[in-house]
Structure 1
């Protein structure tokens, strides 16, 4: 597909509100762990499909799901990790700030006939505290934040919610280390840090970490 995004604003925001499909379909398709994903131009998706399989398999392994867990997926994008988690969880809640990504996530849940996933548009640091206030408590909480890492308010909510495990997928080891310090000071212990080379022959690396609640 050939898609044009129009952004007339003089800011550091990449995408504008208008997106025109010049040729082809509005979506492209991919499959991860047997789950089909429709991906639109403004939605985040990992660019290395072979290593994405490895990355998500590691996140699922570290989540240790038995089918009875409530899982929250922060920064869920088009639901790629959420739907993989939903295959092994009782209920999954995903939150993402980009409305188009949430539209894709809901469409992908319907496409794969998964009804144990709920998606909401908003900032993770605002939506997850609201869920917690409404009585939604995660057994496992997964975060896959941008390079700036997790918002301080989100980390505070994690410490209040006290999920058994936090699975942290990071594209920036420095902010991962910063956020891990907050969580370990709050009663968690990092059990595994597994790098996954998503960008060969560059300095960039993704890491999957699981932090287990100790107190």
Structure 2
């Protein structure tokens, strides 16, 4: 729990929220990162492929009286392009993908949406490196990566990366 708070705190810090932003949380699970972000953003949209997780996310939002967060069931690479077509523009996109990393279509969508910041939470350094390369080639700069040891005495480490859109 202590390290989870460190991980979420770093995610919020890297998102650089002032309270006016729209945030998309891809691979949101039960919405814990979404709800952390919603305390500092205007609107948060979370997407997760597991229906039961979205039910839990919605319950968590109700329990915490968070009205500025919406959750949708589906694959991030399908739902987020649909949101884009509906006119939802993200200032920040947070991704916390499974070990296999982000779906290439999601990375393409991020590059098309051009959010100011991308915060990438990763449990797999090799897929993190692969996906950062795609985002950097698409116009982002990795500013900082912080490892968080969530599982002491194992080889597993979580990392949080902050990327900003190049303005040149």
Distance 2:151 2:39 in 1: 28
**1:207 to partner: Cα distance:** 0.3
Q: Does 1:174 align with 2:111?
A: no
Secondary structure of the residue that 1:191 maps to in structure 2?
strand
Distance 1:114 1:200 in 2: 33
Residue 87 (structure 1) aligns with = 39
Distance 2:80 2:49 in 1: 12
**1:50 to partner: Cα distance:** 1.4
Distance 1:198 1:187 in 2: 31
Distance 2:88 2:109 in 1: 12
Matches within 5 A, 1:99-178: 99-178=51-130
Could you list the runs of 4 or more consecutive aligned residues of structure 1 that deviate by over 3 angstroms after TM superposition?
A: none
Residue 6 (structure 2) aligns with = 54
Distance 1:184 1:109 in 2: 34
Larger radius of gyration: 1
Q: Does 1:213 align with 2:165?
A: yes
**Tell me, which stretches of 5 or more residues in structure 2 are unaligned?**
none
Relative contact order (C-alpha < 8 Å, sep 6+): which is higher?
Answer: 2
**Tell me, which stretches of 5 or more residues in structure 1 are unaligned?**
1-48
TM-score w.r.t. length of structure 2: 0.98
1:186 corresponds to which of 116, 124, 138 = 138
TM-score w.r.t. length of structure 1: 0.77
Normalized per residue, the structure richer in strand is: 1
Give the RMSD, CA atoms, in angstroms.
0.5
Matches within 5 A, 1:8-23: none
